């Protein structure tokens, strides 16, 4: 068993007399399709081998007990007192609250959890925290939800107490991921396909900028509002339902003067990114990883210049990657404003790339870089019971 899983289990058995179930709930990467999940676009995520481990057992009371090992913090709360709080508490309580709203069957339980997803890294530790707990509670309460229903419940949980108006990508990847595969998810219909990840001598390397600008969740909601405003204007002029119905950028240009510049730029990025992701998925199916990588750079450009969710640290790291011929694609990953870049790197050049990026990052920005070579994993699963 993984060392974190062992630690979580040990801590649980030291604290409680019951025997818990143990779960693993993964973080995610996203190859391409950024900031389009809440815009009816397509995304290409995968669940990864960094995540959150949960030990959990019912306690025959009305009390819920959480111990967050990574923070060395606990929370004991009566079911009747569940409310919005701050920090990690908000995520777990919001999941519990969703079960109450859904079926009012919540019962007391004891829970210990810990993980190895660096916070604010863009690998979606929040979806991992939500997904692991929701999956465990679904089993414990016998709610009988499907994995997709659990993902949707977790998305509602993130909207509710933490007030991040996220799309469905992270929670969907957390529940539906499949080892050695990426998911092509249609965020409008939730139809999805699995593509085997044939990296042919390449590795997926994440470079963690180790910055996380605090604006992130507020700015995230602002991007979402800009898109809604732009789409509203387009819908009033064109017979469309969503951005994907605009298949040519020319169609958007005609309405440029009707929108504030920032709204227009967001619309332009989204329309381009939806088209790019479709193209990228087709390339991946044909194992054309080199052309795929070029589209990742184009995504970064759009995220940085049009969508304005990058920052100097992420731009710096993508620039370092673009000068290295072993790196065929790089871009910021996730919500932005810090966190990781995702890079597709020739296996033989991985160590050199990491070394060089680490030195240059330290020299120019005086920040220590962290790098992870990523492996895919399955969506949330039970380890033991
Ligand atoms: C965050 C959100 C996702 C998605 C990405 C950007 O991770 O939780 O829903 O919007 O940002 O693609």
Residue 50 has pLDDT above 90, yes or no: yes
- In the predicted structure, residue 40 carries a pLDDT above the cut 70: yes
Q: In this structure, what DSSP letter does residue 311 have?
A: -
The DSSP H or E segment spanning 267 is helix 261-285
Annotated catalytic residue 81: no
The SS3 of residue 83 is coil
Reduced to 3 states, what is the DSSP secondary structure of residue 382? strand
Place of tokens 């306690």: 59
Which is catalytic among the residues 110, 170, 315, 377? 170
pLDDT of residue 200: 86
Of all protein residues, whose CA lies closest to atom 8 belonging to ligand 1?
Answer: 166
- Residues 12-36 have a mean pLDDT of 97
Residue-range domains of the chain with CATH: 3-196 (3.30.230.10)
Sequential DSSP letters for 126-147: HHHHHHHHHHHHHHHHT----H
Given CA atoms 331, 333, 336, 341 in this order, what sign does their dihedral have?
Answer: negative
Strand partners, 346: 202
Question: How far, in Å, CA of 371 to CA of 205, rounded?
Answer: 7
Ligand 1 pocket (Cβ < 6 Å) reads 34-35, 37-38, 124, 166-167, 169-170, 334-335
Average pLDDT estimate for 323-351: 97
Looking from the CA of residue 167, the nearest atom of ligand 1 is 9
Pocket test for ligand 1, best of 29, 34, 36, 170 (most atoms within 8 A of CB): 170
Which DSSP string corresponds to 145-209?
--HHHHHHHHHHHHHHSS-----SHHHHHHHH--TTEEEEEETTT--EEEEE---TTEEEEEEEE
CA distances, 247 to each of 173, 268, 298 (Å): 27, 11, 18
Q: Quick one: average pLDDT of 240-248?
A: 94
Q: How far is the CA of 113 from the centre of ligand 1 (A)?
A: 23
Three-state secondary structure string covering 315-381: HHHHHHHHCCCCEEEEEECCCCCEEEEEEEEEHHHHHHHHHHHHHHHHHHHCCCCEEEECCECCCCE
**Rg for the chain, CA atoms, rounded:** 21
**How high is the pLDDT of residue 16?**
96
pLDDT for the residue 147:
98
pLDDT of residue 216: 62
Helix (H) / strand (E) element for 89: namely: helix 88-103
**Which of 250, 297, 291, 246 minimizes the C-alpha distance to 270?**
246
Classified as helix, coil or strand, 4 is helix
The whole-number pLDDT of residue 214 equals 63
Task: Give residue-wise pLDDT tens across range 317-328.
Answer: 999 999 999 999
Please compute the mean of the pLDDT values over residues 91-114 and round it to a whole number.
95
Give the pLDDT confidence of 371-383 residue by residue, as tens digits.
999 999 999 999 9
Compute the mean pLDDT over every residue in the chain, rounded to the nearest whole number.
96
Ligand 1 center–CA 166 separation, angstroms? 6
3-state secondary structure of 25: strand
Instruction: Quote the pLDDT of residue 384.
Output: 76
Query: pLDDT for 137-184, tens place per residue?
Result: 999 999 999 999 999 999 999 999 999 999 999 999 999 999 999 999
Q: What is the mean pLDDT of residues 228-250?
A: 95
CA–centroid distance, 168 to ligand 1, in Å, is: 8
What is the rounded distance in angstroms from the CA atom of residue 189 to the CA atom of residue 360?
A: 43
Of 38, 125, 220, 307, the residue with max ligand 1 atoms within 8 A of its CB, to mutate for a pocket test, comes to 220
Tokens encoding 277: 């992701």
| Element containing residue 272 per DSSP (H, E) | helix 261-285
Distances (CA, A) of 202 to 3, 38, 45, 324, 349: 28, 30, 17, 14, 9
What's the rounded mean pLDDT across residues 222-237? 96
Pocket test residue of 43, 167, 173, 222 for ligand 1, highest count of atoms within 8 A of CB: 167
Note whether 253 and 281 are within 8 A (CB): no
* Block residue for tokens 């020319």: 250
Q: Please, are residues 360 and 367 in contact by the beta-carbon 8 Å criterion?
A: no
Interval between CA 232 and ligand 1 midpoint (Å): 21
Residue whose CA lies nearest to ligand 1 atom number 11 = 335
pLDDT of residue 385 exceeding 80, the answer is no
The model's pTM is 0.97
Indicate whether 303 pLDDT > 90.
Answer: yes
**CA 339 to centroid of ligand 1, rounded, Å:** 12
Determine the pLDDT at residue 247. Answer: 87
């Amino acid at each position: 068993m993984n060392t974190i899983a062992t630690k979580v289990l040990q801590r649980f058995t030291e604290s409680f007399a019951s025997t818990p179930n143990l779960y693993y709930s993964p973080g995610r990467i996203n190859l391409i399709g950024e900031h389009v999940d809440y815009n009816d676009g397509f995304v290409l995520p995968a669940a990864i081998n960094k995540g959150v481990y949960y030990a959990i057992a019912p306690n025959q009371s009305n009390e819920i007990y959480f111990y967050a090992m990574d923070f060395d913090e606990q929370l004991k709360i009566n079911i009747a007192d569940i409310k919005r709080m701050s920090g990690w508490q908000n995520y777990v309580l919001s999941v519990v609250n969703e079960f109450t709203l859904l079926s009012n069957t919540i019962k007391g339980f004891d829970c210990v959890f810990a993980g190895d997803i660096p916070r604010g890294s863009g690998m979606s530790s929040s979806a991992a925290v939500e997904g692991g707990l929701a999956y465990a509670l679904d089993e414990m309460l016998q709610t009988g939800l499907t994995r997709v229903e659990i993902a949707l419940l977790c998305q509602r949980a993130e909207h509710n107490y933490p007030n991040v108006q996220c799309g469905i990508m992270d929670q969907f990847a957390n529940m539906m991921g499949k080892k050695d595969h990426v998911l092509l998810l249609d965020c409008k219909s939730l139809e999805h396909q699995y593509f085997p990840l044939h990296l042919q001598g390449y590795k997926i390397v994440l470079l963690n900028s180790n910055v996380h600008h605090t604006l992130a969740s507020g700015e995230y909601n602002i991007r979402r509002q800009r898109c809604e405003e732009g789409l509203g204007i387009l819908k009033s002029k064109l017979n469309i339902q969503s951005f994907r119905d605009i298949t040519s950028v020319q169609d958007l240009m005609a309405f440029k003067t009707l929108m504030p510049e920032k709204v227009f730029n967001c619309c332009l990025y989204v329309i381009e990114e939806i088209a790019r992701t479709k193209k990228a998925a087709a390339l991946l199916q044909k194992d054309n990883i080199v052309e795929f990588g070029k589209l990742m750079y184009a995504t970064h450009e759009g995220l940085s210049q049009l969508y304005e969710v990058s920052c100097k640290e992420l731009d710096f790291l993508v620039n370092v990657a673009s000068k290295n011929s072993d790196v065929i694609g790089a871009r910021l990953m996730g919500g932005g404003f810090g966190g990781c870049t995702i890079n597709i790197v020739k296996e033989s050049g991985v160590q050199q790339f990491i070394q060089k990026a680490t030195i240059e990052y330290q020299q120019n920005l005086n920040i220590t870089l962290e790098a992870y070579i990523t492996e895919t994993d399955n969506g949330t699963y039970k380890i033991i019971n």
